[in-house]
Amino acid sequence: MLPLESQQKAILLRKKGCTYQEILREVPVAKSTLSLWLRNVGLSNKQKQRITTKRIEAGRRGAEAQKRKRAIITQQIKGRAINNALKISLDKTHLWIMGTMLYWAEGSKEKNNSRPVRVKFSNSDHRMIGLFVKWLINVCLVPKYNIRYELYVHENCRPRLKSIMNFWMKYLGLKKSDLNHVYFKKHKIKTLRKNTQNDYNGLLSVVVKKSINLNRKIAGWIEGVCLNAAGLCKGSTPLFGRGSPGSNPGPAANP
């Protein structure tokens, strides 16, 4: 196609409301050349609306393609990581460390000059709750009859209470009588929670009866782990040794 014919065809397509990408598929020229040809082409509101719609659709397709690409990459990374984790032989020592760290992060702890606190661990992740219960029974040697469960559910999910209870009972191997402590929380219309529909199964608290001294023992385990890791963690907090060099930079170099 001659340059003049190409230019005329490009202008005709533009007046029909075609986008640059649609025109370039019909008229294969440099985008800068096409822009020069079309700079004085006027468009009606209808044509402008069509072009805008096409751009939005193209952007949406691009975003969806990126989302699919991220999902594939994420799945590949997670798959390799899962395989790596499955190759690790977990023994009682590993379980001890995992449970201690879990309690350090999410457990109820006794503070200075405060009233005694029982062992209590709360979370909405059923896998984390399951691991913690396993730790209590196998590491802390807590009898099952000394473990109490408290379920907290938002008011708006009251109609789903039966299915929520079944979810926890099935995963943890509990009886209905084990979940007789149910509390309803006032529902907030505006919330940052993502699991607000059928994915929401409330929050479960695991409470150990007569466990004040066990809580203090766990606190000692946590402190012992920190002291044991002092050689690896070059922090500047008193727990890890204020005298350690840490990662603070030295004095600025001379300009």
Confidence of residue 37 (pLDDT cuts 50, 70, 90): confident
Report how far Cα 228 is from the mean position of its chain's Cα atoms.
30
Q: CB neighbours of 198 closer than 8 A, spacing ≥ 6?
A: 160
DSSP labels for 225-244? HHHHTTTT----SGGG-TTS
Q: CB neighbours of 47 closer than 8 A, spacing ≥ 6?
A: 15, 16, 17
Identify the residue whose tokens are 């990581």: 81
Mean residue pLDDT across the chain? 83
Taking the complete model, does pTM exceed 0.85, yes or no? Answer: no
CA 162 to each of CA 7, 31, 138, 216: distance values in angstroms, whole numbers, following the listed order: 69, 62, 30, 36
204-254 pLDDT per residue, tens: 999 999 999 999 999 999 999 888 887 665 554 554 444 444 444 444 444
